[in-house]
Structure 1
């Protein structure tokens, strides 16, 4: 399974709307097996959705995100896990192992803001 994460240096980008770089990882057997970076324009969420679909990436983990891009991404069939904070490696390790990102990696004041499913079926 592939997962995309908005990144700022070694952390989840705090605001999707100002992010410019995605880390795309391949997860196999609860381990990250491949990494690549993609540059994107957060003002064109429909283009991002098309890119993620073309790359076979069903999940996007990000920090705070405004309603319009969140709606576009969701409508494009991408599972959005917003309001996540922390070091990218720690978040991805928890996600790869099937651990909930809530509450450890949820932005302050956003508990209950992420989808209850938390993870797609594998």
Structure 2
């Protein structure tokens, strides 16, 4: 790996470990459907409690981050490119489910990574 790529990877890895504020508008799970050639995203609602934890509106309990949770998404999105899915998510329906600019920025970066993985036939793991 060349030096510039290694340095960029180290920066990204460090930044991925920083604390973040969770979006009260909900969260997005991104995945690929290689067979259909699509980037897919599921939006789930949540609320943020006084400890800063994302909680399930139906149960009032914190949503686990390390185990699989069976919840129904509020909306499904899919697109062949990062731009296509971003237009659907941010422009096609009002109100937009994303309420924080840093969350929107994160999703844009993740959709770009997902598009690159889709086009190259690689696996995509959301950061």
TM-score scaled by length of structure 2? 0.28
TM-score scaled by length of structure 1? 0.29
Computing the radius of gyration from Cα coordinates, the structure with the larger value is 2
Higher helix share: 2
Higher strand share: 1
